[in-house]
Amino acid sequence: MRTLFKIAWRNIWRNKRRTLITVASIMFALFFAIIMRGFGKGSYAKMKQNAIEAYSGYLQIQKKGYWDDKNINNSFTMDQKLLDQFESRTEVKNLIPRLESFSLASSGEATKGAVIMGIDPERENKMSGIADYLSRGAYLRGDDRSILLARDLASFLRINVGDTLVLFSSGYHGATAAGLYPVRGIINLPTPEMNRTFIYMTVTEAQNLFSAPERFTAMAFNLEGMDQVDQVVKEVSGEIDSEEYTVMSWQAMNKELLQMIETDSAGGIIMIGILYMVIAFGIFGTVLMMTNERIREFSVMVSVGMQRSRLAMVVVLELLLLTTIGVIGGIAISLPVMIYFYYNPIQLTGDWVEVMKDFNFEPVMPMSMEFDIFVMQAIAISILSVIAMSYPAIKIMQLNVVEGLRS
């Protein structure tokens, strides 16, 4: 086998120009495929993380029917001992109580519908890092009567830190919900939809506003990681009254997002597939030319006693070496690019910002460094090469030596 390998290695460098062109085509195809997939997977992971941290959590306990009818009347109370029991689990970092409802927000002549999110400032910040999104002013304190206003909503209402906002809504069981709230801070949230509508206040203040003492619309769970969601959902579901409460995973609460990601991912795979088809034609063209040019050489080698199977193995090894060099080169040139963009995501500017906002995406393109990105693209290139290898192998096994010597 070592002898065959040496012969194959010498053969690929007999025509250096063709070898370099073939290797370069494989290398740059792999490079572009890896970079495209890296940006795609990085963007998807960022969207999922934003959805989890900024809104849904990894899972939520809700009153049964709340998700389909987000009404303050579908809020609930829960035994604190049971909540403490949930929070004591090793997979659970902390629980985040929330009271969410809708309200009209008014400042001067400007009025707009808004989402009121009552939170525990300290617990919420541990999961969403919401304090890091603060662009002006200060973050909420536990005893605060002021509010945090999303940036785009603040711009629409022409209001700033220190100004007062009027909120008017319907509270629990039809009670009037109205109040004047000073703006403590302006926050630039990670998703455009939230930036257009969200107002944060302490959960205690939200309970007072909506006349819903000790009531919540959701109890969000902050976990150690996504791989623990299914297990915790199953265990928590077994410990609550299923007639009154329901447990929803982040996937169940973000179906539209996941469907959009699947559709976009399929489009990306098609684009990479087209790229690979172009490269496949290039590789097969090279193999075809190389094989036809060497028919006489193959015939001579067979005529002097070399087994067809060994000769076919030499040619297969040649293509295998070309593929291996191209794959290693493609990974080698893509890795530093991926590392750079992993630590320095592309911040979109100009018209792209508005385009991304229209689709409710954060205008940033992060890079993923998942190992399977390299593996899957390398496998795809290898499969194409294996298919191409079959042609010279079949040609050699069916070779007519007499006709080959005449060529």
pLDDT at 118: 95
State how far the Cα of 41 lies from the Cα of 347, in Å rounded to an integer.
16
Residue range 299-349, pLDDT digits in tens = 777 777 777 777 777 777 888 888 888 889 999 999 999 999 999 988 877
Mean pLDDT of 208-223: 94
Helix (H, G, I), strand (E, B) or coil at 185: strand
Q: Model's pTM, two decimal places?
A: 0.75
State how far the Cα of 184 lies from the Cα of 186, in Å rounded to an integer.
7
Where do we find the tokens 């909506």?
210
State how far the Cα of 287 lies from the Cα of 320, in Å rounded to an integer.
12
Whether 85 has a pLDDT exceeding 70, the answer reads yes
Residues 174/167, Cβ–Cβ less than 8 Å: no
What number of residues does the chain have? 407
Angle at 356 between CA 353 and CA 360, to 5 degrees: 130
pLDDT at 359: 55
Q: For residue 157, what are its two tokens? A: 């209402």
CA 300 to chain centre: 56
Sequence spans of domains, the chain:
2-50+257-406, 99-218
